[in-house]
Structure 1
Amino acid sequence: MFLELLLALALFLLPLLFLILKFSGNPETGNSKLPKSYPIIGSFPALYKNHANRLAWFTELLQNSPSATISIHHPFGRHSVDTANPTVVQHILKTNFPTYQKGESSRQILQELLGDGIFNADGDNWKFQRQLSSHEFNTKSLRKFVEDVVDIELYDRLVPILSKSSSERTILDFQDILQRFAFDNICRIGFGYDPEYLLPSLPQAKFAVAFDDAVEISSERFGFLRPVWKIKRALGIGSESRISRVVSDVREFANTIVKQKKREMDEMKTLESHDLLSRFLGSGHSDEKFVTDIVISFTLAGRDTTSAALTWFFWLISNHPNVESEILKEIEEKSEKGAGYDEAKEMVYTHAALCESMRLYPPVPIDSKEAVNDDVLPDGTKVKKGMAVSYHVYAMGRMEQIWGKDWAEFRPERWLERDVAADKWRFVAKDSFSYPVFQAGPRICLGKEMAFLQMKRVVVGVLKRFKVVPEKRENGLEPEFVAYLTAKMKGGFPVTVVERV
């Protein structure tokens, strides 16, 4: 019956759409680059046409907007606002923070995968998780993270795999290797659990495959026709036919970690906190579903973001030997003075190169909020209650008014000033609203410093011994930047590893 109703609706709408497209009037005045908006269907034709290339398309629209903010008309009267304006970003992430929440629409889309975890929560639930999590990101925890987790994983697992690949002249998918590395790291520091995913055999893990599928399917739900995923889900067709199975695999793995941690804490007869998971369980929130939601959220943050950032970083420096040379010089200088945590803290040029890489290829390219009240943005754009407001991190890294005419260049020096007296570089940070790679305001990423420490230790450990050489792609094209909840390099990052002499 439902299928028949859907078919009848489609047969009615198709001729209507044709007539609208054929006889509709002129587009709205204003930015001539904006897509035409028609009655009923809004800008559906342009949204559909540019869906596969939406990051580049939205970037061009925002670059051509005088205010770097645009309003898009969706089918059936729905509107959204997209911005690359730092003043507007500051407004939605800080100044008027209470008005711009994750929102009910976003929570529904991500409910199966993230549940009520911190990245899908608002209000008191978010505040509680934020407050409890913040204790794990102090200096003592960060030093322990680098010295007891990252460096062991780096030198006992990652380096031997690269060395073996180099001697045998095999091709590695470096994106996969970095994801395995980051996954082991977040599980060990966050949950006190070692999944042993980065082993010489590179084991296939049902959880990892399911996690990738679940993230991809959940991301697709944010498309320009958001209600469609619910129809696909009801009919059990397309990607929605798989999501229950893959999410079940993800939750089974996360739940195993929670149960094991509970057993360990029972045996210890103490609620003393040793990691993030212990702290949540020790807080009295021992409901398995809630704690499982937290495990999945932090796995997403710790596994996919740093690995995405490093994937694009290694690709960029392979194409900029001058940058690689400067990093190698810094590694040699700092290695003589210290190691581990202290060495990583002092890697100023490497820090700038990582920032520059994430400017061009941010791990989270777009972030959306939902207005819970009517509002007016600083540039005069009107926002109605229930509207989605998105800031485009990817586009912001390509705005001339923020970065200058040379925005397209990979140039770490834009983050540095030369201290002539000391004859060394000094890092100059960009404000977090012009560079919201780690969000900004009350929701700014708790793990920012931890991420930088981890990435810098990987850069030191890898580049000190190896040169990473990307395999040439068909027709010499650049790898494709794909945006899910987090970014990926389409088709992986095949490389050969050459040991330095």
Structure 2
Amino acid sequence: MDLSIYTLSVTVFLLVFSLWIVGFLRKFRNNGAYPPLVGTMLSHVMNFERLHDYHTEQAERCKTFRVMYPTFSYVFTTDPINVEHILKTNFTNYVKGISNHEIMRDLLGDGIFNVDGDKWRQQRKLAGLEFSTKVFMDFSGVVFSSIAVKLASIFKEAAEEKKCVEMQDLFMRSSFDAICKVVFGVDINSLSSTKSRAGPETSFAEAFDVANAMMFHRYVGSFWKVKKVFNIGSEAILRKNIKIVDDFLYKVIEIRRQEVVSAEKENVKPDILSRYITLSDKESSETFSDKYLRDFILNFMMAARDTTALTLSWFLYMLCKHPQVQEKIVKEISSVIEDTESTDIGTFAHCLTHEVLDKMHYLHASLSETLRLYPAVPVDGKYVVKDDILPDGFKVNKGDFVSYVPYAMGRMAFLWGNDAKEFKPERWIENGVFHPQSPFKFTAFQAGPRICIGRDFAYLQMKIIAAVLLRFYKFEMVKPKEIRYRTMLTLHMDEDGLNLSVSPRL
């Protein structure tokens, strides 16, 4: 009986929606000024599990296209001239928007990745200055080297016991450890956590992951506001875990404030939280309130962890599918660092200075090629503030969402050639040197005023970990197969992850 009622309800909804579509289509009939209509909300629903491939297929037909929703349109573009217009030329007309801020506010608050206007500009200016300092990059390098050594010890044990390793989970945990140490100076140590281990650090790590996942429910669920009012379902889970996150972070902020007050200026810890608290002596107390610092920490953690962890996962997947690339990277590493077979992992990791890593052009190219095909953020949308005309001549309306599509752009023949869907690091190399592409073509780190301030930070982490692991270990897939993504805000691998066998290289 329940099934019959459900089926009837769905049928009625589809009928009403179809009639509405007919009326809506009449509005745009024979009007070539609007991007071609390729589908409706139902197209997204039916293709949800392969959403990014669906967008790629549509982009191969038309560089800019439209998917219609009941009260607005999603406009997608893969054309770099449009991307530059959205992210730079007419930057103020394409914003995060109120609805996105409302969805993410409980977790990200008023942090840099969840706001527009003056709030964004103030945070961007300060973060840009802090993240470019030598002190920050040197401290980050030390942390990443330590994480790489820990990962290598895990692979050593796996190789000795002939166990396979699920790489995505391992990289997610290692990246989380690194970010927490760099940003607020705490050793979460989730790499060594076990079921029997408990403590505030473990509870924080678990709560952050759960809260992150529950946030995605708000994007695909229609009644999250009702559930929030009544504190039920996913919203009850979200509220519980955000409280755990907040309790932990506010305690850390309190401790760091006490340390900064009692320490001499030159003895302040190098983590970003301590440096921000030190700067607060020069700013208003409101700007650097506990809430401000809490929002900053969570925004940076959200942005930084997935970028590096997921890219390293897809990177190793590509190297397993293209073993000749894996060996070419190892050869480059050996040519840059003249070590011996007796060199231990810690000593090798210590050698990976900025100057040394800058010489590893093919490694940098291989990571960039991974990001081209498997960007951590596969689609990024902006809210349209006012009616506008894109450089390709298509109109967008106030209230629409305009998205550039890094996943599809990386597969466009008109941008990368007929071999666009092939993994080919050589496309980034000219005369033996890495050659960057326009950020409006290679959009993995955004572009324009909002270009990722952590781009160099991310490359540093990925290059150190990749160099250490590939120098000492060889990776192969346990069972050769095509790895699929999960449709989420970031490009996670499917539920099975990436299971690899590990063997010593020497």
Q: Hey, what does 1:299 align to over in structure 2?
A: 301
Rounded to whole Å, the distance in 1 between the matches of 2:388 and 2:144 is 45
Matches of residues 343-422 of structure 1 in structure 2 within 5 Å? 343-418=356-431
Going from structure 1 to structure 2, the CA distance change for 1:79 and 1:150 (only over 3 Å counts) comes to same
Alpha-carbon distance in 1 for matches of 2:18, 2:89: 41
Distance 1:321 1:34 in 2: 42
Counterpart for residue 343 of structure 2: none
1:278 and 1:388 mapped to 2: Cα distance?
38
The match for 1:98 is: 92
Does 1:78 find its partner at 2:76?
A: no
The Cα shift of 1:366 comes to: 1.3
SS in 1 for 2:436: coil
CA contact (8 A) 1:136 1:275 kept: no
Cα distance between partner residues in 1 of 2:229 and 2:10 = 20
How far apart are 1:64 and its partner, in Å?
A: 1.0
Asked whether the equivalents of residues 169 and 496 of structure 1 are also in contact (C-alpha less than 8 Å), the reply is yes
> 1:17-73: CA deviations, max 9, x gaps?
42554897596678999545xxxxxx23323212222111112112211xx111221
Cα 1:495–1:334 shift into 2, 3 Å: same
Cα-to-partner distance string for 1:192-242 (whole Å, 9 max, x where unaligned): 22222222758673333332232223234334xx74433454565553342
Distance 2:20 2:121 in 1: 52
Question: Equivalent residue for 2:342?
Answer: none
For residues 371-422 of structure 1, the C-alpha deviation after alignment (integer angstroms, 9 at most, x for no partner) is 222211111222222221111111111111111111110000011112xxxx
**Is the contact between residue 374 and residue 407 of structure 2 (CA under 8 Å) also seen in structure 1?**
yes
Confirm whether residue 64 of structure 1 aligns to residue 77 of structure 2. Answer: no
**SS of the counterpart of 2:367?**
helix
Residue of structure 2 in register with 1:479 after alignment:
483
**Structure 2 counterparts to residues 7-22 of structure 1, below 5 A:** 15=12, 17-18=14-15, 21=18
**1:494 paired residue among 482, 493, 499:** 499
**Match for 2:413: what amino acid?**
E
Q: Residues 176 and 14 from structure 1, CA distance in 2 versus in 1: closer, same or farther, beyond 3 angstroms?
A: same
Give, in angstroms, the shift of residue 133 of structure 1: 1.2
Distance 1:201 1:23 in 2: 54
Quote how far apart the aligned CAs of 1:103 are. Answer: 0.8
Mapped to 1, the partners of 2:95 and 2:36 lie a distance apart of 29
If the length of structure 2 is used for normalisation, what is the TM-score?
Answer: 0.86
Q: Does 1:320 align with 2:322?
A: yes
Q: Which amino acid aligns with 2:109?
A: G
Distance 2:396 2:36 in 1: 21
AA in 2 matched with 1:485: L
Unaligned runs of 5+ in 1: 1-7, 37-42, 419-424
Residue pairs, 1:248-267, within 5 angstroms: 248-267=243-262
Residue 164 (structure 1) shift: 1.4
How far the C-alpha of 1:15 sits from its partner, in A, is 2.8
Are the aligned partners of 2:88 and 2:447 in contact in 1 as well (CA < 8 Å)? yes
1:334 equivalent in structure 2: 336
Q: Structure 1 residue 170 and structure 2 residue 170: aligned? A: no
Work out whether residues 151 and 340 of structure 1, in 8 Å CA contact, stay in contact via their aligned partners in 2. Answer: no
* Residue-by-residue CA offset, 1:292-345 (whole Å, 9 max, x unaligned): 111111111222210111010011101101101110100100112964222111
- d(CA) in 1 for partners of 2:16 and 2:352? 69
Shift of 1:13: 8.6
455, 459, 465: which is aligned to 2:462? Answer: 455
Pair 1:279 & 2:292 matched: no
Letter of the 1:89 counterpart: V
CA distance in 2, matches of 1:124, 1:436: 24
Percent identity over the alignment is 36
Q: How many residue pairs align between the two structures?
A: 473
Gaps of 5+ in 2: 340-350
CA contact (8 A) 1:368 1:388 kept: yes
Q: Is the 8 A contact 2:111 2:296 kept in 1?
A: yes
- Which digits, 9 at most, give the CA deviation of each residue in 1:230-283, with x for residues without a partner? 345456555334221222223233323322212221332659673321233232
